[in-house]
Structure 1
Amino acid sequence: MKVFILIAAFLFSNLMISAAETKIMIRAKARDAKFIGSSLGGAHIIVRNKLNQQILAEGNTVGSTGNTDLIMKNPKIRGNSIADAQTAGFLASVDIDEPTFVNIEVISPLNNKQAQATVSTELWLIPGKHILGDGIVLEIPGFIIDILKPRTHQYIPLNTIKNKPFTFQANIVMMCGCVIDKNGIWNSDEIEVKGILKKDGKFMKNVEMSLVSTNLFEGNTVINTAGNYELILYAYYEKNGNTGVDKINYVVIE
């Protein structure tokens, strides 16, 4: 009996020794923009064993959006990093004792539900073989759009707006929070921003939106009848396929 216990203990000890810490740097990067980090609340990362769906590591990216010159301006050369020591990422650490096929899922932006997207990739992790540097970079497409005016379910007396320009406003940024400005790196002149206005569930008109200050787009129209209104506002950049949408409902009363 004692021999059996000693053998079992020996085998268990060897099993524990064979498990190796494996580190993976995981980053979320906005399409045609920079990394998603602390300034935007981070991107949420989940690493799962593909076979049994066990969560091996989980957390948020932290750090800066990265060096603009490295990411957006310098020519891309094989082997050169686009991340520096301050660039946002999540360093996952897992203990595995044999090659393990994993799913890495990124949910971002974490704090902007209407713009939130989930992207994932799969790969083999080898015990003790770290993936560091730029690491695993997952691309998040789109724009973050927040309609500022009118407010959600705002009641607006018709007599205060009749025969006057009614203004719509929206804040729009890249998925990393990077700014959109006239003639900037993310040039507002190249991004189509438009509102689709509905009244009582039926299409009413399109509303052209234009930049009035950094990230802030504005448009207006005349509203002369009461009803339940819905504004669907979108941004579209043809060059890279980035899109974004926000919706809001408001009520015009007699």
Structure 2
Amino acid sequence: MKPERICTLLITLFLSLYAFAQPTKVIVRAKAKDAKFIGTGIGGAYIIIRSDLTGEVLAKGLTTGASGNTDLIMKTPYTRNLPLTDEKTAKFETLIDIKEPTFVTIEAIAPVNRKSAAVTASTQLWLIPGKAIDGEGVVLEIPGFILDILEPQTHQVIQIASLKNNQVKIRINLVMMCGCVINKGGIWNADNIDVKALVKKDSTPQNEVVLKSIQDNIFEGLLPVSDKGSYEIQVYAYDKVTKNTGVDKINFVIQ
């Protein structure tokens, strides 16, 4: 066969291969800042992979699996290329068919089932046809806390005569974004976290109440109340070391 003919066949073969999309494996994980991976136990992170050029959604779904090995993630000194995950660690895994290198945006909304606490983290990268992004995959960091006001309840009506010592208990639940436990002296140390309630009465700023850790994930404080009215409580948590933050807000009535 003539060299010209061979060259033509090779070019034709190359173009025919290029014309077909190749399945490309992508793994994405969401990891709570200063904590573990966001998986099934907290409802997962919702992952969206989009073409940056067209906005087309190439893949979407939830991370599933466990939050990971605490000793490995939180206690083992970091070493380059040391995996923080194993086969059980939460992830979103997909195959994306692409014909050519494709620049994508990857978003993680987490924890997706906790709308009041969920945040969106994103990054961008090139996907190369047939070249897997596997192993640890793409890891997106999710900062913050999940904070829920337990007492008083939303729009609860409290009789002022029923109050003990004219005080309303403020009670909140606070966990890491992966669901990990916060307690005194623990890995996620409650002593490092400032928790405070900012109070308004009839839209006017009133007391600020410090909340203290009383058991796993639970912080409490007492709000002095002397007048009837419509109250608003906004509670924040702030980690002095990691700078994680969380907020929740409710309204209630004293009559």
Which AA in structure 1 matches 2:251? N
TM-fit CA distance, 1:180: 0.1
Which residue in the other structure is 1:179 paired with?
181
Partner Cα separation in structure 2 for residue 69 and residue 97 of structure 1? 41
CA apart distance, 1:161: 1.4
Look up the match of 1:35.
37
In structure 2, how many angstroms separate the alpha carbons of the residues matched to 1:177 and 1:67?
Answer: 14
Q: Distance in 2 between matches of 1:241 and 1:163?
A: 35
The alpha-carbon deviation at position 17 of structure 1 amounts to 6.3
2:9 match: none
Q: Kindly indicate whether residue 90 of structure 2 is the aligned counterpart of residue 88 of structure 1.
A: yes
SS of the counterpart of 1:115? coil
- Which position in structure 1 is the counterpart of 2:249? 247
Point out 4+ residue stretches in structure 1 off by more than 3 angstroms. 13-17
The code of the aligned residue for 2:245 comes to T
Shift of the alpha carbon at 1:157?
Answer: 1.1
Tell me which of 145, 170, 178 is aligned to 2:172. Answer: 170
- Which one of the candidate residues 192, 195, 199 is aligned to 2:194? 192
Matched residue type, 1:36: I
The alignment's C-alpha RMSD in Å is: 1.6
Equivalents in 2 of 1:216, 1:198: separation in Å? 23
User: For residue 50 of structure 1, what is the aligned residue in structure 2?
Assistant: 52
2:131 alignment partner, one of 124, 129, 132: 129
Tell whether the 8 Å contact from 1:163 to 1:224 is kept in structure 2 after alignment.
no
Number of equivalences:
243
SS of the equivalent of 2:108 reads strand
The 2-side partners of 1:181 and 1:145 are apart by: 14
Query: TM-score, length-normalised on structure 1?
Result: 0.92
Structure 1 residues not aligned, in runs of 5+: 1-9
Contact kept, 8 Å, 1:148 with 1:170, in 2: the verdict is: yes
Match of 2:233 in 1: 231
Corresponding residue SS for 2:116: helix
Is the deviation greater in 232-241 or in 99-108?
Answer: 232-241
Q: Distance in 1 between matches of 2:55 and 2:100?
A: 16
Q: Residue type of the partner of 1:229?
A: Y
Distance (Å, rounded) in 1 between the aligned partners of 2:148 and 2:123: 29
Q: What is the CA–CA distance in structure 2 between the aligned matches of 1:144 and 1:163, rounded to whole Å? A: 31
* 1:95-130 alpha-carbon deviations (Å, 9 max, x no partner): 001000000010011111111101100000000000
Deviating more after overlay: 41-50 vs 157-166: 157-166
Describe the SS at the equivalent of 1:236: strand
Q: Is the 8 A contact 1:57 1:92 kept in 2?
A: yes
1:179-226 deviations in Å (ceiling 9; x for gaps): 001100000001111111110111101101001110000000221111
Q: Which of 11, 18, 21 is 2:20 aligned to?
A: 18
User: Which SS does the other structure have where 1:72 is aligned?
Assistant: helix
Any residues of structure 2 matched to 1:73-222 within 5 Å, and which? 73-161=75-163, 163-222=165-224
Displacement after TM superposition at 1:162 (Å)? 6.5
Amino acid at match of 1:82: L
Determine if contact 1:162/1:224 at 8 Å carries over to the other structure: no
Measured after TM superposition, the shift of residue 16 of structure 1 is 8.2
Measure the CA separation in 2 of the matches of 1:117 and 1:73. Answer: 26
Gaps of 5+ in 2: 1-11
Q: Please say if residues 25 and 95 of structure 2, whose CA atoms lie closer than 8 Å, have aligned partners that are also in contact.
A: yes
Q: Report the CA distance between 1:164 and its aligned residue.
A: 2.9
